[in-house]
Amino acid sequence: MLSFADTLTEQKNTHMTHIEDKVLYGGVNGTRQAIFALRDMRDMLGGGGGSVSVKWDGAPAVFAGTDPNDGEFFVAKKGIFNKNPKIYKTAADVDADTSGDLADKLKDALKYLPALGIKGVIQGDFLFGRGDLGKKNIEGKKYVTFHPNTIVYAVPEEQSDTIRKAKIGIVWHTTYTGSTFETMKASYGVDVSKLKKTANVWSQDAMLRDVRSATMTKNETETVNEYLSQIGKLFNGISGTTLRTLEANQTLAQHIEQFNNTYVRAGATIGDSRAHTTKLINWIKNKYKKEIDNRKSDRGKATQKAKLDDLLSFFGEENKANLIRMFELQKLIVIVKLKLINKLNKLNSLETFIKTRKGFKVTGQEGYVAIDTIGGDAVKLVDRMEFSYNNFSPDILKGWDKPTRN
């Protein structure tokens, strides 16, 4: 039987797809990846092997290590993989390209990360830098907190000595190997045990190494197996041609994802899939009607009309029937994903909250990453009704929404 590892290829970790959207963007093979990832996580939580990491809600992303061209230490943003890689080796390099909080963090990374003795290139996310640690009393308990993005991470004050002494905090999640930046291959996971210790850096990795406290019961496993069986039957009933057409037409796939995200932003779930398909078509028509109306020239209007006609040509009766099945498949993938996330949330190493104008509210982790330890690829599992809604919601106060960030 094929596994998750058999379906994946190496790629740079600049974007990971939500597991249910593998169906949209990955065609037949992408859908298999999603199903096999769920199976592998089921096996892991049933006491078998597997590799999963926590998706920390850090920012910004940071790359660090040794420039393969000259052996010098560098830090970088995601521009590291440009044709002309953008990397920083001095504070002056950083100041010439960035400013504000981002520049402060990158310069601190240049100052403190060399002490870790990083070999090669690794990627992580900033959790805190200068001035980012705070002290909060939440529900009568004292914490040291950091709030890099949407989630507030909280460490009980009596356990916070190491964090309070650190100048920066970073969680590492991806290792890169290769003779040039352009040809580097990603493998998910960083062995922090090989990094040197320094009090100035609170350095973590994202891997979950002991899931025994989150092992599924027999009944939970049987429930997941039933859903996976339904997923397999639905997948077999969807035309490969429809999935391949979506895979080839990324614009159409993006429109479907954008439409689905309107439900996430509203905190709503997708109901009847047949009605959802009809609403999708109307949403696309209305979107392009606005584009057509906004164009002043006949040529501009005709261009937008042609784009609309091209998108609508997909929605013949056969493709619509397959799209309905695809939405049903995505909903079942989400159900299994949430069951797995709920088990994994029992493994939280830090307490997690969101900040509202009325105070703090308990939340789960941003999500998890199912890792193919052989092929080096991954898919993300995020509770979009919780984390993604919080991320979109203007009612949730974000860590970057403060005067010191620009």
Report pLDDT digits (tens) over 45-57.
Answer: 887 766 788 889 9
Q: What mean pLDDT value characterizes the chain?
A: 89
pLDDT at 15 over 60: no
CB-CB contact of 38 with 232 (8 Å): no
Average pLDDT over residues 302-325: 96
pLDDT at position 405: 42
pLDDT at position 346: 82
CA dihedral 149, 9, 244, 340 (to 10 degrees): -50
Average pLDDT over residues 236-248: 96
- Is the backbone peptide bond immediately before 60 cis, with ω within 30 degrees of 0? yes
Residue predicted with more confidence, 73 or 186: 73
Which range among 188-192, 249-253, 358-362 shows the weakest confidence by mean pLDDT? Answer: 188-192
Residue predicted with more confidence, 146 or 3: 146
pLDDT at position 400: 64
pLDDT at position 159: 94
DSSP string, 85-120: --EESSHHHHHHH--HHHHHHHHHHHHHGGGG---S
Least Cα distance to 368 among 392, 385, 351, 387 occurs for: 387
Element (H, E) at 404: none
What's CA 312's distance to the chain center, in Å?
30
Report pLDDT digits (tens) over 269-279.
Answer: 899 999 999 99
Average pLDDT over residues 3-17: 46
pLDDT at 156 over 50: yes
Q: How confident is the model at residue 16 (pLDDT cuts 50, 70, 90)?
A: confident
What are the C-alpha distances in Å from 277 to residues 140, 236, 256, 327, 352? 48, 20, 10, 8, 36
Average pLDDT over residues 360-365: 90
pLDDT at 214 over 60: yes
Element (H, E) at 167: none
pLDDT at position 388: 83
pLDDT at 185 over 50: yes
pLDDT at position 154: 96
pLDDT at 373 over 70: no
pLDDT at 10 over 80: no
Amino acid at 24: L
pLDDT at 7 over 50: no
pLDDT at position 1: 42
pLDDT at position 313: 96
Predicted TM-score (pTM) of this structure: 0.81
